[in-house]
Amino acid sequence: MARASTRLPPFLLLLAATCAAVANAQLSENYYGSSCPAALLTIRTTVATAVLLDRRMGASLLRLYFHDCFVQGCDASVLLDDTPSFTGEKGAGPNAGSLRGFEVIDRIKLLLELICPGTVSCADILAVAAHDAVVHLGGPSWTVLLGRRDATTASASLANSDLPGPNSNLNDLLAAFSKKGLSSTDMVALSGGHTIGRAQCQNYRNRIYADTDIDGTFAASLRGDCPQGGGNDGNLAPLDASSPDYFDNSYFSGLLSHRGLLHSDQALYDGGSTDGLVRSYASNNDQFGSDFAAAMVKLGNLGVLTGAYGEIRVNCRAVN
């Protein structure tokens, strides 16, 4: 009797083999050790310079990586520019007018193409830059596994559907992370990325006018720059008011005092299943740091392309 698998149509067998290859793909720590030994130092110094000039850039690089990995996996799809015949992810709702840091990645890529042409992927540059930015702002370190290759496609529709929005409730957030195989602990720890960076008025307007679980003084202090009737949509406020450019656990202390800037931030501490974890992180910076680091490693493994899949882009903004 023929085995069941031989009855599958050839395209399904190919699909299964492709999925297995991608799932088994191995990243490694020392991937560029001989092919581009200066890669890590080049990325680190360029990130350090960018953050020295603009401390918010550290936050922007971390977010860029999250928005890459959550859409098709960590494959640099987020970096592709639109062309007349191609629509990428930059114009998608969660990204348009909001993602920053593309020029820093361009600068790194330019240097790496001079030092070791066609070797270091844009996807790996994003992974290392996010790590270096966090460390530079006082956050934890982790082993960044390398060997990702760059996508030749992008998906605006997945960017719109898979990236959680600022008005999400706890169930939405848990579902969005669970869809990527990430646990509620991963979700809460990774949300601690909001210990650095800024959000625009249009993303916290509802929170400061409509939410009832917000500290009154905090809400009032934000209203002047973010009028209820509209306007000033791009005005910025820190996601963690007490130390916006320092990577620590004070984001979680803010949630305990109902000072989360986004509705989705406060949703982590609003009487639901994640309250206990928020309390733990607020009282234990080391626990937050190690859970954040572990979750960043998991995030970095999402949907990676290795081996014969994808390519090493010459220019991060365009497929070769």
Can you give the binding site for ligand HEM, defined by CB under 6 A?
A: 56, 59-60, 62-63, 66, 98, 100, 164-166, 168, 173, 190-191, 193-194, 196-200, 203, 239, 262, 264
Residue 48 vs 163, nearer CB to ligand HEM: 163
DSSP result, 57-79: HHHHHHHHHHHHHTTTSSSSGGG
Concatenated DSSP letters of 93-111: TTTTTT---HHHHHHHHHH
Q: Which amino acid is at 285?
A: N
- CB 271 → ligand HEM: shortest distance, Å? 18
Instruction: Pick the closest to residue 297 from 189, 161, 194, 152 (CA basis).
Output: 189
The packing angle between helices 102-115 and 39-53, to 10°, is 150
Q: How far is the CB of 9 from ligand HEM (least distance, A)?
A: 39
Residue 303 backbone class (left: φ over 0; alpha: ψ -120 to 50; beta: rest): left
Least CB distance to ligand HEM at residue 187 (A): 6
Question: What's the rounded Cα separation, in Å, for the pair 240 and 262?
Answer: 10
Least Cα distance to 133 among 76, 200, 195 occurs for 195
Q: How far apart are CA 245 and CA 236, in angstroms?
A: 14
Q: Which is nearer to ligand HEM, 56 or 148 (CB)?
A: 56
Q: How far is the CB of 72 from ligand HEM (least distance, A)?
A: 16
Residue (191 or 266) nearer to ligand HEM, CB: 191
Are the C-beta atoms of 241 and 253 separated by less than 8 Å? no
Q: Pick the catalytic residue: 67, 131, 136, 194?
A: 67
121 vs 195, beta carbon nearer ligand HEM: 195
152 vs 285 by CB, closer to ligand HEM: 285
What gap in Å lies between CA 154 and CA 89, rounded to an integer?
A: 6
Confirm whether 67 is a catalytic residue: yes
Closest distance to ligand HEM from the beta carbon of 25 (Å): 22
Positive or negative: CA dihedral 300, 61, 238, 98: negative
Q: List the catalytic residues.
A: 67
